[in-house]
Amino acid sequence: MKVLVIGSGGREHAIVWKLAQSRVVDKIYCTPGNAGIAQIAECVEIENKDFSDLIDFVKYEWIDLTVVGPEDPLAKGIVDAFEKEKRKIIGPTKAAAQIESSKVFAKEFMKRHKIPTAEYKIFTSYTHAEEYIRMKGTPIVIKADGLAAGKGVFVCQNYDEAVNALKLIMKEKIFGAAGEKVVIEECLQGKEVSYLVFTDGKTIIPMVTSKDHKRLLDNDEGPNTGGMGTFSPNPIITPELEREILETIIKPTVKGLKQEGIPYRGILYAGLMIVNGKPYVLEFNCRFGDPETQVILPRLETDLVDIFMAIAEQKLNKVDVKWSNKASLCVVLASEGYPGKYKKGIPIKGLDMIKDLKDVIVFHAGTKFNEEGIIVTNGGRVLGVTALGNDLQEARQKAYSAVGLINFEGMQYRKDIGLNI
Ligand code: AMP
Ligand code: GLY
């Protein structure tokens, strides 16, 4: 069969890499892809504004299944457009994707279904929002309602920071319409975990647990990023805590969306804070995590196509999903300046030395081939170096040994992924 993957990051490289191992996949396309993906799939540029060119491509190439990496097309209704044309696609509809695309929707949904989350209030008026911050005090968290490329959340330690964030969102409108409403919520202190499941709207199949490192610098310092590294499993999630996450968060979410007439199919990702042993939702994502996928999929033993087809056909209860007992760890190598401005087009050295290393996979994110056919940087997060080991320490040691072989001018990465669990 033929599969199309949409996206260009490390997450999409991991999806394509796993699909390439499937016993039923003959050909993989990716749009737009990157230099790593181009080595195992055919990368194509397709305009995807209203999805009509994409659907034409899928029809013309006889593509059997489409997998969506990022949230943006999901929030814009790619699944609705494909389903109208009876084309198989993995991901939630536009209405169900609101769980990520509108923080106001997500918070009100959680309130309706008694799903544990930080206490909050919603504002459309700057003056009322500022009054509320003064009354509540700090630390406090301010979130733009809509999608803001991962930059719409401000964890504010003092009043000035909070007012500044509010001004940026509501007065300067740096996120445009995404900031017309804001959620102001209680700041939770605890340990963050990522919890992802596959669901067809009825059956829920948990993925192995993981942890992201959102801050740029070691010891969780510096600005928030898309994610600087991950590991799996996350030992914080004991079997007992996992049961609680499923019973109090995941099941009520899938059931609640179905009850509200917007059944959720695809990947559901809950970003959680564990406070005194109890899980609270920080956010939902309607897709695989990046770089969580780079540690989760290398541990998947089942054919990913079997899972995707079962989601599309709502037969997930028929699939027995198996995971390896190995641990995995991913270190993200980023451009100088990320998450702010950065240069592109810098040659990446050392990739050849890693090709044959056992248990090491380099997932490309912001990379491309330049005119001379050399792999150069093309984004903020450039590579994700994943290693598998018998335990986290071994995976960590292998991943960092491989990182030591790669180099590009201005390369920055965290040295403490998997250290302070
Ligand atoms: P989000 O995109 O909503 O997950 O927020 C991005 C990051 O902000 C999270 O990964 C947390 O580190 C932090 N964050 C979000 N909400 C809260 C909260 N209520 N309390 C503390 N930290 C938070
Ligand atoms: N790693 C965080 C995310 O995918 O949103």
What is the mean pLDDT of the segment spanning 293-317? 98
Ligand nearest the Cα of residue 144 is 1
Q: What percent of the chain has pLDDT over 70?
A: 100
Q: Of ligand 1's atoms, which has the minimum distance to the CA of residue 186?
A: 19
Q: Is the CB of 212 under 6 A from ligand 2?
A: yes
Q: What is the structure's pLDDT at 162?
A: 96
CATH number at residue 172: 3.30.1490.20
What confidence tens digit (pLDDT) does each residue in 330-354 have?
999 999 999 999 999 999 999 999 9
Of the candidates 180, 209, 224, which is a domain's last residue? Answer: 180
Q: Of ligand 1's atoms, which has the minimum distance to the CA of residue 189?
A: 21
What is the mean pLDDT of the segment spanning 107-111? 97
Q: Is the CB of 64 under 6 A from ligand 2?
A: no
CATH number at residue 43: 3.40.50.20
Separation of 288 CA from ligand 1 center, angstroms?
A: 17
Q: Is the CB of 100 under 6 A from ligand 2?
A: no
Same domain, 206 and 313: yes
What confidence tens digit (pLDDT) does each residue in 92-103 have?
999 999 999 999
CB 344 within 8 A of CB 375: no
Best residue among 110, 155, 175 to mutate for probing ligand 1's pocket (most ligand atoms within 8 Å of CB) is 155
Q: Of ligand 2's atoms, which has the minimum distance to the CA of residue 289?
A: 4
Separation of 181 CA from ligand 1 center, angstroms?
A: 17
Q: Is the CB of 185 under 6 A from ligand 2?
A: no
Same domain, 397 and 351: yes
The phi and psi torsions of 192 (rounded to 5 degrees) equal -90, 140
Q: What is the structure's pLDDT at 215?
A: 92
- For the chain, the domain total comes to 4
β-pair type (2-7, 27-32): parallel
d(CA 8, CA 354): 21
Q: Is residue 76 part of a domain?
A: yes
280 three-state secondary structure: strand
Of the candidates 300, 318, 336, which is a domain's last residue? Answer: 318
d(CA 306, CA 25): 11
Q: Is residue 297 part of a domain?
A: yes
Ligand nearest the Cα of residue 143 is 1
d(CA 411, CA 348): 9
| Tokens encoding 385 | 């170096």
Same domain, 212 and 305: yes
What is the mean pLDDT of the segment spanning 358-386? 97
Separation of 403 CA from ligand 1 center, angstroms?
A: 28
CATH number at residue 294: 3.30.470.20
d(CA 225, CA 83): 33
Q: What is the structure's pLDDT at 324?
A: 98
Question: For residue 225, which of 233, 234, 215 has the smallest C-alpha distance?
Answer: 215
CB 155 within 8 A of CB 164: no
| Tokens encoding 32 | 């737009």
Same domain, 218 and 308: yes
Q: Is residue 344 part of a domain?
A: yes
Q: Which whole-number Å values give the CA distances from 307 to 12, 204, 247, in the listed order? A: 17, 11, 22
Q: Is the CB of 290 under 6 A from ligand 2?
A: yes
Same domain, 133 and 223: no
What is the mean pLDDT of the segment spanning 186-198? 96
Same domain, 224 and 304: yes
Best residue among 121, 141, 220 to mutate for probing ligand 1's pocket (most ligand atoms within 8 Å of CB) is 141
CB 188 within 8 A of CB 273: yes
Q: Whose CA is nearest to atom 5 of ligand 2?
A: 289
What confidence tens digit (pLDDT) does each residue in 249-302 have?
999 999 999 999 999 999 999 999 999 999 999 999 999 999 999 999 999 999
pLDDT at 76 over 80: yes
Same domain, 290 and 209: yes
Q: Ligand 1 pocket by C-beta < 6 Å: which residues?
A: 118, 141, 143, 153, 155, 185, 187-188, 192, 214, 224, 271, 282-283
Q: Of ligand 1's atoms, which has the minimum distance to the CA of residue 103?
A: 3
d(CA 254, CA 106): 13
Q: What is the structure's pLDDT at 181?
A: 93
Q: Is the CB of 200 under 6 A from ligand 2?
A: no
Please, which pLDDT band fits residue 421 given cuts at 50, 70 and 90?
confident
CB 79 within 8 A of CB 92: yes
Q: What is the overall mean pLDDT for the chain?
A: 96
Q: Which domain holds residue 8?
A: 2-93
Q: What is the structure's pLDDT at 49?
A: 79
Q: What is the structure's pLDDT at 233?
A: 97
Q: What is the structure's pLDDT at 420?
A: 79
pLDDT at 361 over 90: yes
d(CA 47, CA 103): 28
Q: Is residue 99 part of a domain?
A: no
What confidence tens digit (pLDDT) does each residue in 237-250 have?
999 999 999 999 99
List, in order, residues 6 or more apart from 388 with CB less than 8 Å away: 298, 299, 324, 326, 327, 328, 359, 395, 398
**Alpha helix segments (H runs only) across 94-238:** 94-101, 103-112, 126-136, 159-166
Please, which pLDDT band fits residue 107 given cuts at 50, 70 and 90?
very high
Ligand nearest the Cα of residue 283 is 1
Same domain, 369 and 306: no
Same domain, 257 and 287: yes
d(CA 323, CA 296): 9
Q: Is residue 312 part of a domain?
A: yes
Q: What is the structure's pLDDT at 130?
A: 94
What confidence tens digit (pLDDT) does each residue in 136-158 have?
999 999 999 999 887 889 999 99
Question: For residue 330, which of 386, 263, 377, 253 has the smallest C-alpha distance?
Answer: 386
Q: Is residue 362 part of a domain?
A: yes
Separation of 189 CA from ligand 2 center, angstroms?
A: 19
Ligand nearest the Cα of residue 271 is 1
Q: Is residue 186 part of a domain?
A: no
Q: What is the structure's pLDDT at 197?
A: 98
Kindly tell me the sign of the dihedral angle through the C-alpha atoms of 274, 276, 279, 285: negative
d(CA 95, CA 249): 19
Q: Is the CB of 71 under 6 A from ligand 2?
A: no
Please, which pLDDT band fits residue 356 given cuts at 50, 70 and 90?
confident
Q: Whose CA is nearest to atom 9 of ligand 1?
A: 282
For residue 420, the number of C-alpha atoms closer than 13 Å in the C-beta half-sphere is 9
Q: Whose CA is nearest to atom 3 of ligand 2?
A: 289
Q: What is the structure's pLDDT at 200?
A: 98
CATH number at residue 370: 3.90.600.10
Q: Is residue 150 part of a domain?
A: yes
What is the mean pLDDT of the segment spanning 164-169? 94
Same domain, 201 and 266: yes
Ligand nearest the Cα of residue 230 is 2
Same domain, 290 and 344: no
Same domain, 167 and 206: no
CB 308 within 8 A of CB 318: no
Specify the DSSP class assigned to residue 187: P
